[in-house]
Amino acid sequence: MGMDAFADTTAATAVTRTHCPYCALQCGMELRADPADGSGLRAAGWEAFPVNKGALCQKGATATEVLNPAARLGSPLLRRHRDAELEPVTWDEALDFAAARISATAAAHGRDAVGIFGGGGLTHEKAYSLGKFARVVLQTPHIDYNGRFCMSAAAAASQRAFGVDRGLPFPLADVAHTDVILLVGSNLADTMPPALRYFTAQRENGGRLIVVDPRRTRTAEQADLHLQPVPGTDAALAAGMLHVLIAEHLIDEEFIAARTDGFEEVRAEALRWWPERVEAVCGVPAGDVRAAARMFAGAGTGTGGDGGTKARGDSGTGTRAGTGMILTARGTEQQADGADAVNAWINLALAAGKAGRPYCGYGAITGQGNGQGGREHGQKADQLPGYRKITDPAAREHVAGVWGVPADSLPGPGRPAVELLASCGTDIRALLVAGSNPVVSAPDAAFVASRLAALDFLAVCDVVLSETAALADVVFPVTQWAEEAGTMTNLEGRVLLRRQAVAPPEGVRSDLDVLGGLAERLGSPGFLTEPAVIFAELARASAGGVADYSGLSYERLDASSEGEGLHWPCPTPDHPGTPRMFLDAFGTPDGRARFVAVGHEPAVEEPTAEFPYRLTTGRVLAQYQSGAQTRRVRSLNAAEPGSFVQLHPDLAAAVGVAEGDAVRVTSRRGSAVAPARINDLIRSDTVFMPFHWAGAGRANSVTRRTTDPVSGMPAFKTAAVRVEVAR
């Protein structure tokens, strides 16, 4: 089936219904022809799509600008030797050169010397094909992706507790009818504004919102209760809240006995975290710890001991009495004990009996567009399609059968992202990067750039000459969202068809064509390049796995309620999909959820006299991830043109910084310099920098490569730093 078979489904009105190129909300949008725009298209919200209901944030509304060929790479680029400049070449020349260098590397250093680094924004078809290309064509174990920086801690924690990792195991719309929401380390108001409507509705329906964040963000402003812990101390805060539930007999003994295992060990750990001890570690007043615990348990506001709740009911417009959710995001996950911190929050949800029933549960708010799907089908170092473990003999047999190769020819697990990048230039001698810009987005980015520069060969697939592509020996200019059909899975596990709206610019090909061209030159002709055909194979490869897509097809996704998608698991063509998981049983072999006994370890890098403050990083409304796309959109750049350092007036006074001063933030890795933004919306011992920019303001020049041992998640949120005026 051709690439454009799922192009314009409403050609009579010249409207294509598709999805935003950016975050995991995957807002439905309608693209219309607009000759006045450089891209030839104009975006508007798709009213009937059930997630965003017509709303787009300013990134989505301006997304067509990144399609403009004038701002794109229009032909492959080649650097003939290390001291040469990149120069335009033909596709054949670029593919021949890349294949020859990959072959030479494998011949000289072994197959394990070639690696792949993918991205959480890639479609399923691309992510799956990268995994297959690594294992079948290159026969290397070394493939991982930037999703490791985004979701890995929550994924690992969910697998430990529930046996399954699906970001939200319920539709986002359920939030509006949930009694109490505990939102940890997420600033939805800036990162995915259309999602905020569900939280606003929840409060209008009588629900309560608790936000945990070191900063008083626009999301935290909406909360009934805002806790501002020291970055990196979330596990202690969660344990302290559980301590209160136990001490005040607010745990759900019946649920714990009926549907969980392992509570006694967790109870013993929680008893060590009385609220005053939590206050000393986390900086959250003991009274607020108690108030939050009582509120989450549904025992009143917690502040006045009224024992009551706001008026609410079981009608379609109210919240459901006694229900609750805990939702986490990068703030709690990007820590040196990220998986443990998430499990500490899950323990709290389980102990309160707020899981495994409607309007209750734990969910992780995925960041990147296909952050969920990108970690399900083989792009991770330890994984085969269907969320199967690469070490599982039965999984290897099944997937090898689909791929038509012997199971024992498949490599074993490779290295997680930070380790993979660190071994570039030593064990890894050649690397193919697709859909990622690690020179900006990886922790300790200057080190990463030095490792990439030390490679014998670097090839990058990208839409523009990103900071990473600028280091490459070969750059392949590739298609993007509206120029190609592809599938994505949003933060709710909803599998979506992203339809093609326009033909790609001349000189640009799909990443799938790059892999096909390389495979042919590397002795594996016939590598699939058509998205619908690849998805059909992916569905077969996923059959029987945790993330079972075998009942899905392009035709079915296209037809599903006019493109609303279907939630996995969906194991047969007549299966309706699974919007809500765990209502009868969790995903563990015996169907019971697991408490995971976790403690709190001090951050590996505690402040010292030389580095007395903490740096935490994150996103702003008008930019997205490494900024490779959004920094090229005029209105977004006008709104947020560069990096900044947010600091509290007390800290600013202590270090002699005035508003707008150039501030140098220095850690043991390096420095970043950006203008000061002084306000009291942040703890006075912590500074914040957004991470979207390269150059002097690159926040990841300061962050550290230390990773969570369970998940490989880097500890982006906890670097000890010095802050001073840049002279």
Residues near ligand SF4, by CB under 6 A: 20, 22-23, 25-27, 52, 56-57, 59-60, 192-194
Angle between helices 234-247 and 275-282 (to 10 degrees): 170
Minimum CB–partner distance for residue 191 and ligand SF4 (Å): 7
The residue (of 22 and 568) whose beta carbon lies closer to ligand SF4 is 22
The residue (of 205 and 366) whose beta carbon lies closer to ligand SF4 is 366
The residue (of 356 and 374) whose beta carbon lies closer to ligand SF4 is 374
Let me know: does 690 contact 699? Beta carbons within 8 Å: yes
- The SS3 call for residue 470 is helix
Quote the Cα angle for 565-118-171, to 5°: 25
Minimum CB–partner distance for residue 630 and ligand SF4 (Å): 9
CB under 8 Å to 641, separation ≥6 — which residues? none
Let me know: does 63 contact 44? Beta carbons within 8 Å: no
- The SS3 call for residue 513 is helix
Let me know: does 718 contact 234? Beta carbons within 8 Å: no
The residue (of 360 and 495) whose beta carbon lies closer to ligand SF4 is 495
The residue (of 235 and 327) whose beta carbon lies closer to ligand SF4 is 327
Minimum CB–partner distance for residue 27 and ligand SF4 (Å): 3
The residue (of 309 and 623) whose beta carbon lies closer to ligand SF4 is 623
Let me know: does 216 contact 682? Beta carbons within 8 Å: yes
Minimum CB–partner distance for residue 688 and ligand SF4 (Å): 21
The residue (of 194 and 493) whose beta carbon lies closer to ligand SF4 is 194
The residue (of 495 and 593) whose beta carbon lies closer to ligand SF4 is 495
Minimum CB–partner distance for residue 623 and ligand SF4 (Å): 10
Minimum CB–partner distance for residue 187 and ligand SF4 (Å): 12
The residue (of 463 and 723) whose beta carbon lies closer to ligand SF4 is 463
Residue among 577, 621, 711 at smallest CA distance from 219: 621
Minimum CB–partner distance for residue 18 and ligand SF4 (Å): 11
Q: How far apart are CA 52 and CA 78, in angstroms?
A: 42
The residue (of 29 and 455) whose beta carbon lies closer to ligand SF4 is 29
The residue (of 375 and 619) whose beta carbon lies closer to ligand SF4 is 619
Let me know: does 595 contact 266? Beta carbons within 8 Å: yes
Minimum CB–partner distance for residue 193 and ligand SF4 (Å): 6
- The values of phi and psi at residue 312, to 5°, are -160, 170
Minimum CB–partner distance for residue 369 and ligand SF4 (Å): 7
Minimum CB–partner distance for residue 58 and ligand SF4 (Å): 8
Minimum CB–partner distance for residue 155 and ligand SF4 (Å): 20
Minimum CB–partner distance for residue 260 and ligand SF4 (Å): 34
The residue (of 51 and 154) whose beta carbon lies closer to ligand SF4 is 51
Minimum CB–partner distance for residue 196 and ligand SF4 (Å): 9
Q: How far apart are CA 354 and CA 543, in angstroms?
A: 31
Q: What is the DSSP letter of 211?
A: E
- The SS3 call for residue 259 is helix
Q: What is the DSSP letter of 21?
A: S
Q: How far apart are CA 726 and CA 661, in angstroms?
A: 8
Q: How far apart are CA 469 and CA 499, in angstroms?
A: 27
Q: How far apart are CA 705 and CA 726, in angstroms?
A: 25
The residue (of 98 and 192) whose beta carbon lies closer to ligand SF4 is 192
Q: Which residue is nearest to ligand SF4 (CB)?
A: 60
The residue (of 556 and 619) whose beta carbon lies closer to ligand SF4 is 619
Instruction: Retrieve residue 657's tokens.
Output: 């910084």
The residue (of 437 and 707) whose beta carbon lies closer to ligand SF4 is 437
Instruction: Retrieve residue 152's tokens.
Output: 């890995």
Minimum CB–partner distance for residue 366 and ligand SF4 (Å): 11
Q: How far apart are CA 664 and CA 246, in angstroms?
A: 45
Residue found under tokens 């977004």: 636
Quote the Cα angle for 359-363-367, to 5°: 135
The residue (of 57 and 102) whose beta carbon lies closer to ligand SF4 is 57
CB under 8 Å to 645, separation ≥6 — which residues? 663, 665, 674, 675, 676, 677, 687, 688, 689, 723
Minimum CB–partner distance for residue 19 and ligand SF4 (Å): 7
DSSP per-residue codes, 689-717: EE----GGG-GGGTS---B-TTT--B-TT
Minimum CB–partner distance for residue 253 and ligand SF4 (Å): 40
Half-sphere exposure of 363 (CA within 13 A, CB side): 30
CB under 8 Å to 647, separation ≥6 — which residues? 657, 663, 676, 677, 678, 682, 687, 688, 723
* Cα→Cα distances 539→487, 488, 531, 552, 715, Å: 12, 13, 12, 7, 34
Let me know: does 329 contact 186? Beta carbons within 8 Å: yes
* Cα→Cα distances 693→393, 437, 628, 637, 697, Å: 43, 11, 9, 11, 6
Instruction: Retrieve residue 123's tokens.
Output: 């479609």
Instruction: Retrieve residue 592's tokens.
Output: 């019971």
Let me know: does 532 contact 1? Beta carbons within 8 Å: yes
Q: For the chain, how many helices (H) and strands (E)?
A: 22, 28
Minimum CB–partner distance for residue 320 and ligand SF4 (Å): 26
Q: How far apart are CA 345 and CA 327, in angstroms?
A: 9
Distance of CA 348 to the CA centre of its chain: 23
The residue (of 27 and 501) whose beta carbon lies closer to ligand SF4 is 27
Instruction: Retrieve residue 280's tokens.
Output: 């000393």
Quote the Cα angle for 668-672-676, to 5°: 125
The residue (of 368 and 701) whose beta carbon lies closer to ligand SF4 is 368
Minimum CB–partner distance for residue 165 and ligand SF4 (Å): 21
Q: What is the DSSP letter of 134?
A: I
